[in-house]
Amino acid sequence: MVRGRIFIAVGLVVGLVLLPACGGGGPKGTATCDGTPLDADAMDLPADFPIPDKVTIDATAKQGASHTFDGWFDGSLEDAYHAWKDAFESAGYTVLFDELEERDSEVSYASADNTSTGQVAMKSDCVEEGRTDVHITSRPA
| pLDDT, tens only, 81-139 | 999 999 999 999 999 999 999 999 999 999 999 999 999 999 998 898 899 999 999 99
Task: Give the chain's length.
Answer: 141
8 alpha-carbon distance from chain centroid: 44
**Which one, of 24, 58, 48, lies nearest residue 131 by Cα?**
58
- pLDDT at position 7: 42
Rounded distance, CA 81 to CA 54, Å? 12
pLDDT band, residue 29 (cuts 50/70/90)? confident
Predicted pLDDT of residue 104: 96
| pTM greater than 0.85 | no
DSSP class of residue 84? H
